[in-house]
Every structure is written in C-alpha cells, then in structure tokens.
Chain A
Amino acid sequence: MSSDQNLSADVVIVGSGVAGSSIANELVRAGISVIVLEAGPRVDRQHFVENFRNLENKPSYQGPFPSTPWAPHPPNQQSPNKYLHTTGPDAEAYQQAYLRLMGGTTWHWAGCAWRYLPSDFELKTRYGQGRDWALTYDDLEPFYYQAEVMMGVCGPDPSVEDLGSPRKQPYPMEALPLSYAGEEFRKLITEKTPWRIVHEPQARNTRPYDGRPTCEGHNNCMPICPIGAMYNGSYSVYHAEAAGATFIPNAVVYKIERDAANKKVTAVHYYDPDKGSHRVSGKYFVIAAHCIETAKLMLLSADEQSPDGVANSSGQVGRNMMDHTGVQVTFISGDKALWPGRGPLETNVIDNFRDGDWRNERGAYLVHMVDDNQVDFATQLAISKGYVGRELEEQIRYLASHTVRLFSHNEALPDPENRLTLSKTEKDALGIPHPQVYYKLPQYTVRSCDHTRSVFKQLIHLMHGTDEEWTPGYFPQDHPSGSTIMGVDPKDSVVDGHCRTHDHENLFIASSSVFSTVGTGNITLTVAAIALRVADTLKKELLHG
C-alpha cells in the first residue's frame, strides 16, 4: 500500500529517545522544521508506575513495558529473550534490554551520566588497542555541558573530586547526598583500601530543576522513576513539541530511500501498525534509533543500489558490537548492617581501574556498589537455607540489611566478528526480521573481568563476606555500541567525526552505534553530547550553508 500523503521536513529523525528528541528540540528552536518518526507508541508515566506496582517480578526492568507487536523490544533481560537473538560463545553476555516507545530507553535507566575520559577517544594512539575516535574530548566538551544542562546532571565539585574529564563549568547541580549504605561503603573504601571512591554524576535532581522535583530515593529508577526527578527522553520530546516539532508515534521505519547516484538520502518509508506504508522526504536525515535498531534499519534497507545495506560500502554496518559486559557478585557482609535500598540505585563508584598504562593489555572498568533493595535476594537465600516462621522473618531482616551487590562495567574492543545481522527465521508482526547478534567476548575484556574478580574477592574478604553468589559468566550492561562505527577512513568505518555517513552526505547517525570504542562509564551522556553536536552541524549547514 502506498500513500498519497506528502510528509516532508527540513530534517527527518528516526527515533525519539534522548538523541532524536534532543536534536529535534535544538533544530526546531532554530527555525528548522522537524519530523520525528517513533516506532513505538505515545506513553505516560502514570501507567508505567501502575504497571510496576502490579508487576510480580520487581527486578525485571523490562517487565513494566510489554511492547507492541509492530515495535517489539526484548521482553526481559534474561536469555532467551525472544526478540534480540544472540549466538556465539558469549551469547548470554549480549542480552541487551532497551525500549521502543516515545522517549526511548531512558524511561528506565539509573541516570548515571559520565563524561568519558580524554583517553577514551584515543585508545589506539595511547595504548595501541582498538581504535581512535574521529573526534576528541575537546570537540565534545561544550556538548557534554549542554547535555548536562538539558538533562539536569548533578555531580561533585571538580575542585574536590576530579573525575578526570576536564570541565569548563561546574555540574548544574550539587552531587547527591549518599545513603547510609553509600556512606558506610565509602568509609570502608577510603579507610581500608588503597582505592578511591567517587560520587557518580547522575541525571537526577538534587534540587527542583526544570519543573521537576528533587529525588526522594524511591530506589526504583529502573524500571521507573515515579516522580520525574530523573531525566528521560520524554522531556525533550515535550520541549521539542512545544516548540513546533512533529512527532509521529507508531511509525516503524523500514526503508531508507536514496537518489539515483546513491549519494543522498531522499526519503524514509515507514509502516503504521496496519502496515500502511508512508513516505517522508527531507533535506537531511538522522537515524537515532538505538544501536541495535539503527544497524537493523541500515541492513533492512539493502537493495540493488546497496546490496549490503545503506551506508555500508565499508561492510562495517552491524559489526564491532560492544558493551560494558562485566562481572556481578552478591554476598552477605559479616560486618555491620548497611541497609541498602534507601536512595537512588547507583551513587558510588570506585574509579581506580578506569585508566592506566595497563590498558595496553586489559580493559578499563568501573566498580559500582549497587544500592538497591535486597529483600528479594535475602528472602530467596533465607528460604533456601530452610528457615521458617519467626526465624525466617528474622533472617530476611538480617540478610536484607547485610547484602552487598557489586558489579562492574568492563571495556570491550571493536571486533568485526561481533556482528549484528537480520534473522532469517524470526520476524515481527509487520514481517520485519528480528535482530540477531553473534558475540564472543574479546580477550581484552576477559582479562579485565579477571582483574575485577580479584578486586571483588578482596572486597568480600575485607567485609567478612559469606554466601557469595556470582552471576554466571559475564553480565550484560545494556550499553550496546559500535554497530555503525566512527572513523576517518571510509574503508573501515561507517560515519565520520561529525556522525555523517561516509556514503551519503545528508545522512547522520546519532546513537551509541557510532562509538569507536565503548569508553569508560555509562554511555548515555556521550550519546546525548554527540546528538547535540549533530544538531549543531545541521544548524550550521541549514542556516548558513
């Protein structure tokens, strides 16, 4: 079915998450017309809050977000997840969770808003590993700040706690006060280890900000902040809409159309839920559809002109899949009760293993003390130990107050063999193939995880820990990246330093899919910063070009 609608805008954006919506907001406020196509539906907070409260499996952060048939996303973060199919030796380690709905995956994240280190952009030059990005920290610094202001990021005073990423301005908000568990863990690290523990920068309000309230520590940032104290992409959607941007929900883009010379994109085509097809033309196009879906769309658009998919003359689309695949352990502290679960989920990070000469042989990592409620874990443990009645209640109280959970974000390297392809057998309701990923953890990451385990063991020993429960194998961190990798050479990369595809001059990509290496720290702030830089480039070309 073809459509006689004539949808057109200066800039057409695919995806309404933090990247797409913030680009839309910037452009529309500069007088540039924008249409944003979002595969998922319009949603609101109140229904997610009720879904969460009615959900039996509270730790499932995909649980409150059952997806639509036309825009499926992984139903859970365990294997098999029935949508993102993974294969290879470390298939289990690549079970990524994300959301397809208006506002994107930041509806459930922990708000961790790290800037990368300058060295993260020059891993090849400095340590002979992986690749260099085609941009530097200095290129991104102003956009990091713009993203921090847009989201409302709180963080430590750089003169007191320098996180290693040079800042021209202080954080927009003061750092979060630590919970009791956070304070006690901080004391332990400071007094009894040679390591350093820092306040994690967070896109979370420590004072009323941008019409949203201060964080109250409900402790369920994932799956849903019940009060809006934490940033999510829906705010940028609202702001862009207020300024005149058009957002079309339930618009599943399935084809990127190019001109006869295959140099410029002329339109994108989308299906509505009834599979009616619609064409949207524009001067510029931005794919901001999350690492997995962005690569999927490029491959899906293969045709006679581009048999391997759009923007894929390098053959690198879908390759170089990375994550912060890490290690996780939960144990019972033999020392005093910490009572975790009384603040935001993540506030404290040990950052000694974030950078050093050893990065020439093993990946960097961050250690998080996860401050989440442990009643679920404690109850299962107490029952497994055979307690009943009053003793069971006492044990649950004891164990929940003494449980410590640690996990790490370990650096991966881009390996072309780690590859996303389209499933030949599994399709969604619109007939669009599901994505599948082959994953083998790079040895660089394996060595990093081995090092992490030794650090965790030292911490368990220090806290007189018992009942260690190690997550088997490796722990996916939902930071997929690399699938449309950035580089200076069109022969081995998909986009240049401005996130413009080498093959198509008016096609940009704003997603973690452009990351040349996965970096150290959660990916979202860097996604937002490169998105705002894409908006800046587009403004320059459209207004002054």
Chain B
Amino acid sequence: MADFKHIFWSVLFGGAVLGGLHAAPSHAADDEQALMARGAYLATAGDCVACHTRPGGKPFAGGLEIATPKGAVISTNITPDPQNGIGAYTLEDFEKALRRGLRKDGAYLYPVMPYVSYAGLTDQDVKALYTWFMHGVQPVAEKPPETEIGFPGNIRMSMMAWNMLAESEKPETGDSATYDKLRRGHYLATALEHCGTCHTPRNFMLVEQQDQYLAGSQLNGWFAPNITPSNTGGIGDWSEDDLVAYLKTGHAKGRSQAAGPMGEAVEHSTSHLSDEDLHALAAFIKQVPAHDDEMEHQARDSFGKALQDPDIRSGIVHRVDDLYEMGGAELYDANCAACHGASGAGTADQYVPSLYANSVVGSGRVDNLIMTILEGVNRSTPSGHASMPSFGSHSDVQRLSDAEIARLVNYLTIRFGSGDHQVNAEQVGAMRQPHPAPAPAPAAAPQEAAKPAQPTQPDHP
C-alpha cells in the first residue's frame, strides 16, 4: 500500500511540477497548465487524499472511516465522476463545499472536513484546486457508504449553529505564491495543512479552541502533541531546520519521528512540499503563541542517555513451550535491542532512532509510545522508507500482550524517558483498537473471493 502511494505521488506530481510552482511567475496562473500544476500542489499541501481514500482504494474515491467522538464519519468520493463524485459541481459549488462546508444539495458537511481551515484559501487557489480535481483526477464510479451518525443532535441542520460557533479562517487575497515567508507559512499552516485540525484541542462542541492553537489534542489513541514554542510543553527547543527535516523526512534526529496519523501527513503531504514552503511553515509554527502543558515539565526530547552495557544474561535456555513471563529488561532485549541497540542508541545513521533524546519516549503522555509499539512505523517519503514492525495483534514478527507492552513501556520511560508512568495492561488494552486484519502476502494471482468456512472447533489440548 505504502509503495503504491509512493509511486502514485511520484507519477502524479513528479519533481518538475513540485519544483516548478514557485519558479512559475504568477502571471502565468491563468494558463491551464500552470493552474493544474498549482492545483495538484495545493491538493497535496491540503492532504485531501489522506481522508478521501480508503486503505487499498482508488485515490480520492472516499470510503475511509474517520473516528470522531460522535461516531465514524465516512469520507466521500471527490473524484470528477458525475454520479458518485463531484463531477457535476460548478466552481461555485466547489467553493461552497471547500470554504463553507455546504454540499451541492445544500446539506451541511460534517466538520471532519476542515472547511473552517480551507476557508482561508484565496479565490485563485480555490479555482486551481477545482481545475485540478476536474481534469487531473481520475473519475471513479464508486459510492462509499453514507455516514450514519448524528452530530450533535442527529440533524445536519444543527451544523448551521455549529458553524456559527466555529471560527473560520478569513479568505486570503491576492496570489498566494507571492506572499512573504511568514504570510506564506501562515497560509500553509492554516488554509492548507490544517495543522490545527489535529493539534489544537477542541471544546465540548468539538470546536477548535483558537486560544489554545496547536497546544495538543487526542487523536484516535494517538496524541497530536503540543507544537507551540513552549520550552517545556512544546517544541521551543527545535530550530527551523529541525522542523523542516521533520516535515520533509518524518524524522528530526535527536528530537522525534513521525508515525501514525502524522506519519501519513508527512508521507502524503509535507514531504512533497518545496523547501521554501517547508521553511515558511516552520517559521510560522515557531512564532505562534507558546502554551505550557500541565503534563510536560521539560522538553520531551531532552530525557535519557545511553545505557551502559546492561547484562541480563541468565545462561538459562528454556524449553520451546515455556513461554515464561518476561520482565521489562528482557522484553526490551528480545524485541527492541536488535535494532535500537542494547544501549538504546539506535543505529549510527539514526535510521533506527535513539530511544533517549526522543520525544515519543520522553513525553509525559505515553499514548504515542504505546501506539507505536502496537502499530509500528511505516512511512514512505522521497527520502526513504522508515519501517518498524507492529508488535500488536496482527504482527507476524511478535505479538505482545497488553501486560507485556505495559511492562515494556514502563521500562522504556524509566530508562530513557521522563520516569515511571505506571502503565497497566488495561490502559494498553483500551488503546488496542480493532483493526482489519492485514492482507497476507501480496497475492501472486488474484485470489478467489470467498468467505472462509469454519471447521468444527476443537478443544486445544
């Protein structure tokens, strides 16, 4: 899947298109080609594909279930197919959906669609996006299932009230390609990348709290951390170059690495932005108001050091059926040390990162550490494919129990992080989400579609 995506993006955009955007003078924007190129780049910056494509599905054909506190919202088909997608949308219809959350038939969109962010787009960029979606995207005649939740109070009409509470971005003006660095950064962060959608906490009405912009928020088991410039709660110790490296590759050495939803954002979106745009985005993030964090008292990436030759050899070789209970140190040795090193230093080139000086391990919140162990890392960018196997319920490498993960996390945070967080098995169990079983090996030949029959169940001896 990841490889498919990689190829997809490479083919779709290619270096020339991406690199050429800023080089292209704005007066060429009327030209269809330039408009298409700009639209493609903007769609990448807006990361539309992340939500509007289901795993294994065709790009932009929708069907992804997005968990919200109110239930799952299923993303729609935004390919130019007239029946199933947005092929019948005029530019005006498109603009209404994108910036105001209104469907062509007048119904309100669920605010999982970040129209409060896209509201900040310039007219010119809306037109570019429209042009690209109509002419640059392959139509797909597939209808994803309808979303069946109430938000809040069961009727989409209540969205009108919500929209009045939620503060939308004000549309920017002029040619966004000509903005100065900070204005461009603001534009990218708010109107396109919609960083706040995940990183800004929401109130009980699920409205982003703008006075807490980028101060961190829960996200389906993961925690989108505080990325304000606070020196204790946020990423005040990161340089602009650190941020650029992180957004470009998914990894800032000695600071942090992207997995889960941020890994996807890097893979689909930020790793394809121009260096100039990445610097603009980083510069903007570095100057938003700093917010401290009651659960973080020291920069997350400032904890721990390499362990000195821990000797845990017992000399005992157990019988193959003796799956004895391992302590944290043994779990680390058996499952982590082969790659992260006995000392936790990772590899010399940090392809495998150190576990000390690592935000995920140092954080006062253990959510992302647990989720990384459960789900692994699978992040493909033009700079390479970062991969850590899952140790969750579908792992082929090693399936760790809730109690084992709890012991391992406590060991890791004591040794390399901010101390003992006394995680227990129940906490891990609650984060173990039901995921569809991964496909087996990629099929050599098309598999015959059929449902497996159940044999009579035996008692296991």
| CB-defined contacts of B397 to chain A, threshold 8 Å | 45, 211-213, 227-228
A211 in contact with B320 (CB, 8 Å): no
What CA separation (Å) do A28 and B453 show in the bound complex?
7
Query: Which residue of chain A has the shortest Cβ distance to B450 in the bound complex?
Result: A31
| CB-defined contacts of A46 to chain B, threshold 8 Å | 326, 331, 334-335, 398, 400
Q: Does chain A have a CB within 8 A of B310?
A: no
Q: Does chain B have a CB within 8 A of A518?
A: no
What CA separation (Å) do A260 and B120 show in the bound complex?
82
Interface residues on B, range: 35 or more
A41 in contact with B440 (CB, 8 Å): no
- Given A7-B456, A246-B458: A214 in contact with B322 (beta carbons within 8 A): no
Which stretch of B95-103, B230-238, B384-392, B412-420 is in the interface?
B384-392
Q: How far is the CB of B372 from chain A (nearest CB, A)?
A: 14
What CA separation (Å) do A218 and B454 show in the bound complex?
40
Which stretch of A124-132, A157-165, A247-255, A475-483 is in the interface?
A247-255
- Given A149-B442, A150-B444: A47 in contact with B324 (beta carbons within 8 A): yes
B396 in contact with A235 (CB, 8 Å): yes
Q: Does chain B have a CB within 8 A of A17?
A: no
| CB-defined contacts of A249 to chain B, threshold 8 Å | 460-461
Interface string of A269-280 (1 = CB under 8 A from B): 000111010101
B318 in contact with A51 (CB, 8 Å): yes
A65 in contact with B320 (CB, 8 Å): yes
B339 in contact with A213 (CB, 8 Å): yes
Query: Which residue of chain A has the shortest Cβ distance to B391 in the bound complex?
Result: A46
Which stretch of A32-40, A90-98, A176-184 is in the interface?
A32-40
Q: Does chain B have a CB within 8 A of A5?
A: yes
What CA separation (Å) do A338 and B390 show in the bound complex?
36
Interface string of A37-64 (1 = CB under 8 A from B): 0001111111101110111100000011
Q: Does chain B have a CB within 8 A of A438?
A: no
**B-facing residues in A238-289 (Cβ within 8 Å):** 238-239, 242-246, 248-251, 272-274, 276, 278, 280
- Given A213-B388, A214-B387, A242-B440: A51 in contact with B317 (beta carbons within 8 A): yes
B441 in contact with A152 (CB, 8 Å): yes
Interface string of B357-385 (1 = CB under 8 A from A): 00000000000000000001010000001
| CB-defined contacts of B441 to chain A, threshold 8 Å | 149-152, 210, 235, 239
B450 in contact with A9 (CB, 8 Å): no
| CB-defined contacts of B395 to chain A, threshold 8 Å | 211
A239 in contact with B334 (CB, 8 Å): no
Q: Does chain A have a CB within 8 A of B23?
A: no
Q: Does chain B have a CB within 8 A of A167?
A: no
A101 in contact with B315 (CB, 8 Å): no
Query: Which residue of chain B has the shortest Cβ distance to A243 in the bound complex?
Result: B452
Tell me which of B2, B321, B326 contacts A41 (CB under 8 A).
B321
Q: Does chain B have a CB within 8 A of A451?
A: no
| CB-defined contacts of A55 to chain B, threshold 8 Å | 317
A50 in contact with B320 (CB, 8 Å): no
B455 in contact with A35 (CB, 8 Å): yes
| CB-defined contacts of B2 to chain A, threshold 8 Å | 208
Most buried by A among B318, B323, B326, B334: B334
B444 in contact with A31 (CB, 8 Å): no
| CB-defined contacts of B458 to chain A, threshold 8 Å | 5, 7, 35, 246, 248, 278, 280
Tell me which of B313, B437, B455 contacts A9 (CB under 8 A).
B455
What CA separation (Å) do A336 and B253 show in the bound complex?
37
| CB-defined contacts of B438 to chain A, threshold 8 Å | 211
Query: Which residue of chain B has the shortest Cβ distance to A107 in the bound complex?
Result: B320
| CB-defined contacts of B444 to chain A, threshold 8 Å | 142, 145-146, 148-150
Query: Which residue of chain A has the shortest Cβ distance to B379 in the bound complex?
Result: A208
Q: Does chain A have a CB within 8 A of B296?
A: no
Q: Does chain B have a CB within 8 A of A25?
A: yes
Q: How far is the CB of A230 from chain B (nearest CB, A)?
A: 11
| CB-defined contacts of B334 to chain A, threshold 8 Å | 45-47, 49-50, 226
Q: Does chain A have a CB within 8 A of B27?
A: no
- Interface SS, A side: loop
What CA separation (Å) do A152 and B396 show in the bound complex?
13
Q: Does chain B have a CB within 8 A of A79?
A: no
A146 in contact with B323 (CB, 8 Å): no
- Given A29-B450, A208-B385, A216-B339: A56 in contact with B398 (beta carbons within 8 A): no
Interface string of B307-336 (1 = CB under 8 A from A): 000000111111111111010001101110
What CA separation (Å) do A246 and B458 show in the bound complex?
8
Interface size on A, residues (CB 8 A): 80
Q: Does chain A have a CB within 8 A of B24?
A: no
Q: Does chain A have a CB within 8 A of B399?
A: yes
| CB-defined contacts of A172 to chain B, threshold 8 Å | 442
| CB-defined contacts of B460 to chain A, threshold 8 Å | 248-250
Tell me which of A150, A228, A248 contacts B461 (CB under 8 A).
A248
Interface string of B4-27 (1 = CB under 8 A from A): 000000000000000000000000
Q: How far is the CB of A52 from chain B (nearest CB, A)?
A: 9
What CA separation (Å) do A34 and B458 show in the bound complex?
12
- Given A29-B452, A276-B461: A56 in contact with B385 (beta carbons within 8 A): no
Interface string of A456-477 (1 = CB under 8 A from B): 0000000000000000000000
Q: Does chain A have a CB within 8 A of B394?
A: yes
A278 in contact with B461 (CB, 8 Å): yes
What CA separation (Å) do A440 and B223 show in the bound complex?
66
Q: Does chain A have a CB within 8 A of B459?
A: yes
What CA separation (Å) do A335 and B397 show in the bound complex?
40
What CA separation (Å) do A5 and B335 show in the bound complex?
39
Query: Which residue of chain B has the shortest Cβ distance to A46 in the bound complex?
Result: B334
A213 in contact with B387 (CB, 8 Å): yes
Query: Which residue of chain A has the shortest Cβ distance to B437 in the bound complex?
Result: A242
What CA separation (Å) do A242 and B335 show in the bound complex?
23
Q: How far is the CB of A326 from chain B (nearest CB, A)?
A: 28
Query: Which residue of chain B has the shortest Cβ distance to A40 in the bound complex?
Result: B320
- Given A146-B445, A213-B389, A214-B387: A246 in contact with B455 (beta carbons within 8 A): yes
Q: Does chain B have a CB within 8 A of A30?
A: yes
- Given A34-B455, A35-B458, A212-B396: A218 in contact with B338 (beta carbons within 8 A): yes
What CA separation (Å) do A383 and B10 show in the bound complex?
58
Q: Does chain A have a CB within 8 A of B443?
A: yes
| CB-defined contacts of A539 to chain B, threshold 8 Å | 448
What CA separation (Å) do A142 and B387 show in the bound complex?
30
B399 in contact with A44 (CB, 8 Å): yes
- Given A47-B324, A227-B389: A25 in contact with B440 (beta carbons within 8 A): yes
| CB-defined contacts of B443 to chain A, threshold 8 Å | 149
Interface string of A206-240 (1 = CB under 8 A from B): 01101111101010000000111000001110110
**A-facing residues in B185-207 (Cβ within 8 Å):** none
| CB-defined contacts of A238 to chain B, threshold 8 Å | 394, 396
What CA separation (Å) do A29 and B456 show in the bound complex?
17
| CB-defined contacts of A242 to chain B, threshold 8 Å | 394, 437, 440
- Given A8-B456, A150-B441, A211-B389: A30 in contact with B394 (beta carbons within 8 A): no
Q: Does chain B have a CB within 8 A of A425?
A: no
Q: How far is the CB of B114 from chain A (nearest CB, A)?
A: 30
Q: How far is the CB of B310 from chain A (nearest CB, A)?
A: 12
Q: How far is the CB of A59 from chain B (nearest CB, A)?
A: 14
Most buried by A among B338, B394, B440, B460: B440
Q: Does chain B have a CB within 8 A of A10?
A: yes
Most buried by B among A51, A214, A250, A272: A51
Q: Does chain B have a CB within 8 A of A352?
A: no
Q: Does chain B have a CB within 8 A of A454?
A: no
| CB-defined contacts of B447 to chain A, threshold 8 Å | 29-30
What CA separation (Å) do A55 and B376 show in the bound complex?
29
- Write 13 A-B pairs (CB below 8 A) sorted by A numbering: A10-B453, A44-B398, A53-B313, A149-B444, A150-B441, A208-B2, A211-B390, A211-B397, A213-B388, A213-B397, A228-B397, A250-B321, A278-B461
Other than A43-B323, A54-B317, A245-B455, give 13 A-B pairs with Cβ distance below 8 A: A6-B456, A7-B456, A7-B458, A30-B447, A49-B333, A54-B315, A55-B317, A68-B321, A145-B444, A227-B389, A228-B398, A239-B441, A273-B461
Closest 6 CB pairs of A and B: A272-B461, A31-B450, A244-B452, A228-B397, A208-B387, A41-B321
